[in-house]
Every structure is written in C-alpha cells, then in structure tokens.
Structure 1
Amino acid sequence: MRELGTQLLRWHAADTVYALATVVGVRGSAPFPAGTSMAVDESGAVWGSVSGGCVEGAVYDLCREVIASGAPVRRRFGFSDSDAFAIGLTCGGELDVFVQRITAAERVAVEAGLDSRAAVAVVRDLESGAIATVGPEGAVGEDFDPAIVRLARAMLDIGAGGVRVVGCADRERTVFVTCFAAPPRMIICGATDFAVALARVGRLLGYRVTVCEARPAFADPARIPDAQEVVRQWPDQYLRSTPVDARTVICVLTHDPKFDIPVLVAALRLPVAYVGAMGSRRADRDRRRRLREAGITDDEMRCLRSPIGLELGGQTPEETAVAIGAEIVAVRRGGSALALSATDRPIHPVATDRRAAG
C-alpha cells in the first residue's frame, strides 16, 4: 500500500472514493508478494499492480464493482492454461486478492499506514472490510477486538504479515495484517557451536541475526549459515557503532572475560529488550564482580540474564539454543516460563515488550 502513498493522499485531499485491491495470499510462483496493492478511483483511474498484468483486467473490474456496491470481495486467481481468453496467472501460481472501498471512514487508518516514518501494522477484516492501523502506541481506525490488536502488535514486532483467524464460533474473524517494519535484531557475540544453533532458533523466531566474532578463524559465514551477517570485530566496538532498538536481543556466548566484560558493559547500557550471557555459576559470580568493578549499577545488573536460558535440562548446543530462545520469548512477552499445566493464567495474555527485571 505504501507504494501508492502519494496518489492515495491526493485522492484523500480531493475527497475521492476509490477501491483498494491487495494481494493477501500467494501460493507457488507469483509476480508480486502479499501486501502489494492496486487502486482504482470513481472515474476509472488506476494506480499500481497486483500481478504484473496477468489478472489486472479482472481485478480492475472487481474494483469498479466494489466501488458501486460498497461490499468487499475476496477472489482467488489461479493458473490459466493455453486458452488465450482465460483469466489467471501464466506463471502457475495462485493469488488471493481482497478488494475494499475506501471512503472517509477508512481514510484515517489508511493515512496512518502510509506514514513512511512509522513502524505500523495495517489490519483488514477480510469479511467486513474494516481497517485499522496498529502501532506501538495504539490503534487508529476501526475498533477491533483487543485480541486482534495484540496479534497485530506481535506480528509488527517481528515484521511478519499474512492472513490470520482470530477467535472462534460467532466471534471468529479473518484478518490480513501488513507490517511496515524491519524485523528485530538478534546480536550473538562469539561464533561458537552454540552460536550456530542459536542463529537457527533466532531466525525461526523472526530475528535478523548478526554474529560478531573478533577471532578471524571463527568468523566464517560458512560456519553459521542461518546468520544474515557475520561481523569480524571486537563485540564491544561493534555494539557502540551498530543501530539497536527496544526489540533487539543480545546474547554473549564467548564466556571469556576479555570479551564478555567490555561487551556486557556496553550492552547493559543500551535500550534493548534482552541481554544474556553464557557461563557456569562460578563464571557468572566472577562476571558480576567484574561488571560491578567496571561501574555497572544494580539497576543495570538486574537486566542481565546470566547464566543465559531457561533450565530445560538440555545438553547439546541445539537444546541450549532452544532454552535461550524460550527465555527470550518469556522475557519479551511477559511469560512465567512455567508449564501451562502448572498455571491458570490466560494462555494468550496481553503481550508486553520489556527489558528483564531480576
């Protein structure tokens, strides 16, 4: 939708009614990803594309019908064979396209989603056409059920999008969420065997994974295929020069004081979501003593998860990585880290995103 921002804002200023067609599902080979949009106004002017030409005519006609009726439409377009008059994708894939009319009632939400400076999730109800834009500070537009707003925030947090079904029975709603935000970062310090496994878990959880390693022999991208980047630099120097935010998680796996202490001093003073460090109980006691000698305060120390991970009883690097990933989820979402069978809290409580408190 943001690719059409300039034209949509012109239509809003002119009080123009238009239909917005959005790709909400892709299977197989298709020209454009989910979230791509095309818009058609009352006069028939068209902007954007949903298929690069294959089904544009049919989507255009749908847009004109929706403008006239006001009723949203969801339509699937599949493979078209050798029949020159067939409507479909010659590439062999399938597209789900959702078309809705945009009037004054929806413009506020659309405009909030068009702001290129903001990280937001745009939520559309695929039955009613209701639309809202959800950001860290709240929602603009349709008053969606709190469960949908929580889902949108969680998807925004990891930069994910797609069709989701929320609720059940007569409260079930199918929504499409488009997120305009880069995925959060996981910064792993130390290219150990544990880092190889944790990079895989981090990628599964939706993080953009960076491994920072000062030792040239270990800083080999081929060793850590699930990391989007491997940086050969002292970790504390890297942390002082790379962008982080309130979603960033930092995992120190070197368990070597000459690396650990400088990087943890830097990490514990950054506005990030999680800082964890690997090591034995004895190493942790020594680490905390050194950190206090380096000037780390009690408040800063309470943000340190060390020894890193939940107590799952794992032995292998892969099991340890699962324990670390589980702790990150629990800290960021406010989970108890207990078995669900041992609690009576709601399974899906209100999501949180906070730094750890000891």
Structure 2
Amino acid sequence: MSHANAALTPRARLRLARLIVDQGWTYATAAKMFMVAAKTARKWAERYRAEGPAGMADRSSRPRRSPAKTLPGVVRRIVRLRWRHRLGPVQIAGRLGVPASTVHAVLVRCRINRLSRIDRVTGEPLRNQRRYEHPHPGALLHVDVTKFGNIPDGGGWRYLGKQQGDKNKAVTALRTGRTAKGHPNIGTAFVHTVIDDHSRLAYAEICTDERAATAIGVLQRAVAWFADHGVTVERVLSDNGSCYRSYAWHDACTELGIIPKRTRPYRPQTNGKIERFHRTLADGWAYARFYEATDQRNAALPRWLHFYNHHRPHSSIGGQPPITRLTNVPGHHI
C-alpha cells in the first residue's frame, strides 16, 4: 500500500500511463505534469502496456532470494522454546547458538515478540514500572512464598489429562491417608524463595508450610548461603503475609543485622523481581517437563537453581548469568 506522502497513488499512476500510452505524451512531458522523474513515468507506462490497469498496484519489495535467511528448522525451534518455556531472545539464543538479534527478528516475523502483559492470577494489565536496581549485592533481598500442588504418583493432569490425573490423585490420597470429606488431597509444596536485587542470584527451599518459624529458618539459611558467596545482606523486602508481619520475623531480622521492609498492601509490583522469578521458576522447573511424583520434581530443584544462577543468561543484566555480578561485592577487590 502506498504511503501517505507518495507522489503517485495507483489511480495517479494509471492516469500517467494512459497519457503516455493512449494519448502519445512523451515521458518527460507526462513526468513534469505529475512532478516525477521521466524514468518513473517510463516504468509505469511499460507496466500499463504489459499488464493493463492491474499493473498499477503496489508490489512487494521482498527479494526473490534470501541466502542468509534463518533456516526453517531453526525458526521452528525458536518458536517452540518461546511458546513452551516463554523464554526471551537472549535465553533462546544461548540455547540454540544463534545471535539474539536473529531470534528477535524471528519472533517479530512470527508476531510472538511480546508475551501477554497481564497478571497470570488476576488478569489485570500490569503497568510499566521504572526499573530500579540497588547498587551492590546484598543491599536488598526479596523474599516470598509461591505454592505448587503436589504431584500424584504416576503424574498429574497437566501432562496426562484431567481424567487420568484425577485417578492418580485419588490413589495417592488413599495411600497417604489424606482424603478429606470424600475429596482427595495430596498436599501443597510451599517454595520459599529469596532473590538478590542487584545480581538476581536466587535461593529457594521447598517446605510444607508458610509459617513464621519456617520463613525464619529459610532466611537464616539463605543469609548463610549468600555469605558463602561473599555477600553481606543489609535489607530484606517482603509482602504483608502473616509470617512476615510477625514479631518473630522482625526479631530474627534484628538478630541477623538485617533491616526488614514490607511492600504496600495490594502492590505486588513493589516486589516485582521475585514475582517475575516465580514465573521463571514455574516455567523452567515446576512445569518444565513430566514428573512422575513430587519427589522427582523436588529432586530437580537444586539442579535447576544451579543452572539459573550459573548458566542461564538473564536479559535484565546484560545477558549474563547472576553469578557474574558478584564481582561488585563491596570489598571484593580489597
């Protein structure tokens, strides 16, 4: 389609061509009238002679051959990783060994370069927030709890379908004695997560509840784990869950020399980095493949965390894994 400021629309081209072909005008005279080059007038006249009025329509500028075009097999792999794992161009490029710019071009061409910008839980649109980042590792830790249903023996409904998944759930509930009021209940995995604001280095534990004592134990072990990596924790940011509002949580933070902070109520965007990590955790670990039981999924978490911290390119820190940012630890070069 002609752009808004085009000198010749399809209708004007037809008038130009008819003046030359039907009325015998010279190329130069007709071109002058329409304020275009004589070469342009000749082009449209020749198309009119060959194709008639149909030749006045716009044509694609796409080349007949594209030797450097991405191979169809690579395109399919890029699309598959995008849809199944919701990976970005940097992560897909790292897996396939192609430039991130090539991956982005493929995603744009396939019209899947932007994932839906809505909250998965509420369905509400997420407003764009100005990205902030604390100056060094340990300046702020984000903490939270995310939940995943336990997997019945033989696998769950996500991979086997609702009917078979419900059968496996019922059998597992009978084996474990967790049937309540006639409804099978195989329990929930509470994954306590901790992520460093500056480096995105992550720590996680699978627990059976989200009580204050459990959250405090996770924090203590996380602080020790970060200390082993040369990171001294200064502040911790949580939501307003009951475990984080307790006096025990505040006292534990004081004993560790950490300043506890909480987000404003109903403002999950404030703790957005760990909310986004939960999506990555779900896509990369919890729902990444078929698990035959909860224990199998639990056993895969340490391996995935190592991959996330040491090998997975992170788009918000320049396409590098989080561990590479620990070179900015205060006193590291002393």
Using the size of structure 2 for normalisation, the TM-score is 0.26
| Greater RCO, 1 or 2 (C-alpha within 8 Å, sep 6+) | 2
Structure of higher CA gyration radius = 2
The structure in which a higher percent of residues are strand is: 1
The structure in which a higher percent of residues are helix is: 2
Using the size of structure 1 for normalisation, the TM-score is 0.24
